[in-house]
């Protein structure tokens, strides 16, 4: 095997350059060393015509390999459009390697240097909250949120959160590992406190928020960065609510002024017509929100399906799609007391669900089926076990 050493390149260089040819190993070939830091090395490699990023330990010590395998265990079950996708972990000639998605992009600081619009900054920040919120719901604290671990793709400027090297669901374990990046770490994380929870990541998000928006939304950022964890937002859901309502006072004030000016000429013509008009607008907004929420669930699902190899694994994402929307229906549509509005909202929901269901079926049907292919019996048994246990797809490795 031939590996070319490229010493200490910037992290953004991970996403460009042409690999040099080398011998094959475990099906991977054309290895290129992209970056080495105090504890890990990153390689670009090819397999079956695809590019992969392989993360290895620098010294291949037992301690570092245990941390790498723990990173794999924490991240392998994650399936979110704004998290880097982890495929498998391999024993390679130069050490244990974590095989992950190769992302064409640049780090957050490089992206901000391009001076993106306010709208784009808002979207990127919302995607960051979505990714971290997903991790927290799985009981995982990232512990190292910083610009170098946040990538923005070149293709569509989509955020991808990477590097679970310090992430853990056990705060005490995290305290015993490598540490963190001080300028983005919470006071309790720097002090190696035993009380590390989701609010530690929220502190880091507050620091990032200042870099993304400057003085805008400073009240939210200040609360995120309170030295006392009890004074921060309790969880990502609370922070997301504050973010969605960031302009609510101004909007409410403008709405009251506009409504008053508009309503004065019609007050004496009848309050009933005005009430009917407001109810109609609320219905339209409700129906539009339902359509958007179903579409959002569809976009997450179609992104997950696009990464699958076989029809059967893609179908599991369709099941998750229906489970999430069933929960959405029970929480947002069923509680509507007005029977007429409940029926109309239900019709909008069913229409949107059927439309995107059909699209997902077309996408899934375009994939090859495991049980119609000429795969060896052992491989069929392996994939069938993954499907029965509802585990994500990973390539079959013959023993």
Query: What digits encode the pLDDT tens for the residues 78-127?
Result: 899 999 999 998 888 778 899 999 999 999 999 999 999 999 999 999 99
Please determine, for residue 11, whether its predicted confidence score (pLDDT) is greater than 80: no
Please determine, for residue 17, whether its predicted confidence score (pLDDT) is greater than 50: no
Which residues, other chains included, contact 371 with Cβ-Cβ below 8 Å and sequence gap of 6+?
312, 380
Q: According to DSSP H, which parts of the chain are helical?
A: 62-75, 108-113, 118-137, 171-175, 187-190, 198-213, 218-224, 236-244, 248-263, 271-306, 311-332, 339-365, 377-388
Note the pLDDT of residue 169: 61
Same domain, 88 and 137: no
Same domain, 229 and 211: yes
Same domain, 111 and 91: no
Contacts 24+ apart (CB under 8 A), 317-323: 317/360, 318/357, 318/360, 318/361, 318/364, 321/297, 321/357, 321/360
Asked if residue 262 is part of any domain, the answer here is no
Same domain, 52 and 168: no
Asked if residue 272 is part of any domain, the answer here is no
Note the pLDDT of residue 250: 67
Contacts 24+ apart (CB under 8 A), 358-361: 359/298, 359/302, 360/298, 360/301, 360/302, 360/305, 360/317, 360/318, 360/321, 361/318
Total tally of structural domains belonging to the chain: 3
Note the pLDDT of residue 398: 67
Q: Helix, strand, or coil here: 226?
A: coil
Under 8 Å between Cβ of 294 and 349:
yes
DSSP assignment letter at 4: E
Under 8 Å between Cβ of 35 and 11:
yes
Domain end residue (candidates: 216, 244, 272):
244
Domain end residue (candidates: 212, 244, 276):
244
Same domain, 210 and 225: yes
Note the pLDDT of residue 275: 77
Q: What is the CATH number of the domain that holds 113?
A: 1.10.510.10
Domain end residue (candidates: 53, 71, 101):
101
Please determine, for residue 9, whether its predicted confidence score (pLDDT) is greater than 50: no
Asked if residue 174 is part of any domain, the answer here is yes
Q: Helix, strand, or coil here: 81?
A: coil
Strand order through the sheet with 40-47: 4-5, 29-36, 40-47, 50-57, 95-101, 86-92
Please determine, for residue 369, whether its predicted confidence score (pLDDT) is greater than 50: yes
Same domain, 136 and 185: yes
Measured CA to CA, the distance from residue 233 to residue 242 in angstroms comes to: 9
Q: Helix, strand, or coil here: 141?
A: strand
% of the chain surpassing 90 pLDDT: 34
- Write down the mean pLDDT value for the chain: 83
**DSSP letters spanning 38-62:** SSEEEEEEEETTEEEEEEEESS--H
**DSSP letters spanning 269-281:** G-HHHHHHHHHHH
Same domain, 141 and 213: yes
Query: What digits encode the pLDDT tens for the residues 204-214?
Result: 999 999 999 98
Under 8 Å between Cβ of 102 and 113:
no
Asked if residue 260 is part of any domain, the answer here is no
Same domain, 219 and 139: yes
Asked if residue 266 is part of any domain, the answer here is no
Query: What digits encode the pLDDT tens for the residues 116-175?
Result: 999 999 999 999 999 999 999 998 999 899 999 999 999 999 999 998 777 666 544 544
Domain coverage including residue 333: 284-388
**Is 0.75 topped by the overall pTM?**
no
Note the pLDDT of residue 8: 31
Cα distance between the two ends of the chain: 22
Q: Helix, strand, or coil here: 36?
A: strand
Same domain, 96 and 110: no
Same domain, 214 and 121: yes
Please determine, for residue 36, whether its predicted confidence score (pLDDT) is greater than 90: no
Question: Cα-flanking dihedrals φ and ψ of residue 46, to 5°?
Answer: -115, 150
Q: What is the CATH number of the domain that holds 52?
A: 3.30.200.20
- By DSSP bridging, strand 29-36 and strand 4-5 are parallel
Same domain, 230 and 126: yes
Asked if residue 142 is part of any domain, the answer here is yes
Under 8 Å between Cβ of 185 and 204:
yes
Same domain, 63 and 117: no
Question: Cα-flanking dihedrals φ and ψ of residue 90, to 5°?
Answer: -120, 150
Asked if residue 228 is part of any domain, the answer here is yes
Measured CA to CA, the distance from residue 93 to residue 76 in angstroms comes to: 22
Please determine, for residue 226, whether its predicted confidence score (pLDDT) is greater than 90: yes
Asked if residue 261 is part of any domain, the answer here is no
One-letter-per-residue 3-state SS of 284-295:
HHHHHHHHHHHH
Under 8 Å between Cβ of 149 and 72:
no
Query: What digits encode the pLDDT tens for the residues 238-289?
Result: 999 999 998 876 666 766 666 666 655 655 565 777 778 888 888 889 889 9
């Amino acid at each position: 095997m031939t590996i070319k050493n490229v010493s200490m390149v910037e992290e953004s260089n991970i996403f460009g350059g042409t690999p040099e040819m080398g011998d094959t190993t475990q099906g991977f070939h054309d290895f290129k060393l992209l970056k080495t830091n105090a504890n890990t090395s990153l390689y670009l490699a090819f397999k079956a015509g695809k590019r992969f990023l392989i993360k290895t330990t620098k010294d291949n010590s037992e301690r570092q390999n245990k941390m790498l395998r723990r990173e794999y265990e924490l991240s392998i079950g994650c399936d979110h459009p704004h998290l880097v996708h982890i495929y498998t972990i391999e024993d390679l000639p130069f050490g244990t390697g974590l095989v992950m998605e190769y992302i064409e992009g640049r780090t957050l600081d490089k992206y901000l240097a391009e001076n993106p619009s306010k709208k784009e900054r808002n979207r990127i920040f919302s995607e960051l909250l979505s990714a971290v919120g997903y991790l927290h719901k799985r009981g995982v604290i990232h512990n190292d949120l910083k610009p170098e671990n946040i990538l923005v793709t070149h293709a569509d400027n989509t955020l991808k959160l990477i590097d679970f090297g310090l992430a853990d669901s056990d705060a005490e374990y995290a305290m015993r590992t490598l540490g963190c990046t001080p300028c983005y770490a919470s006071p309790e994380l720097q002090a190696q406190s035993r009380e590390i929870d989701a609010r530690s990541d929220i502190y880091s998000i507050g620091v990032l928020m200042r870099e993304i928006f400057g003085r805008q939304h400073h009240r939210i950022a200040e609360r995120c960065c309170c030295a006392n964890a009890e004074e921060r937002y309790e969880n990502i859901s609370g922070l997301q609510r504050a973010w969605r309502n960031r302009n609510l006072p101004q909007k409410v004030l403008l709405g009251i002024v506009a409504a008053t000016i508009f309503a004065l000429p019609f007050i004496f013509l009848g309050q009933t017509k005005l009430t009917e008009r407001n109810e109609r607008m609320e219905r339209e907004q409700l129906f539009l929100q339902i359509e958007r929420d179903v579409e959002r669930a569809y976009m997450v699902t179609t992104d997950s399906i696009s990464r699958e190899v076989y029809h059967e694994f893609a179908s599991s994402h369709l099941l998750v799609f229906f489970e999430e929307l069933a929960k959405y229906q029970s929480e947002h549509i069923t509680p509507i007391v007005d029977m007429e509005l409940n029926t109309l909202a239900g019709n909008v929901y069913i229409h949107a669900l059927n439309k995107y269901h059909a699209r997902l079926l077309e996408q899934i049907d375009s994939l090859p089926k495991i049980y119609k292919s000429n795969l060896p019996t052992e491989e069929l048994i392996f994939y069938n076990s993954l499907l029965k246990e509802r585990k994500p797809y990973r390539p079959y490795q013959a023993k």
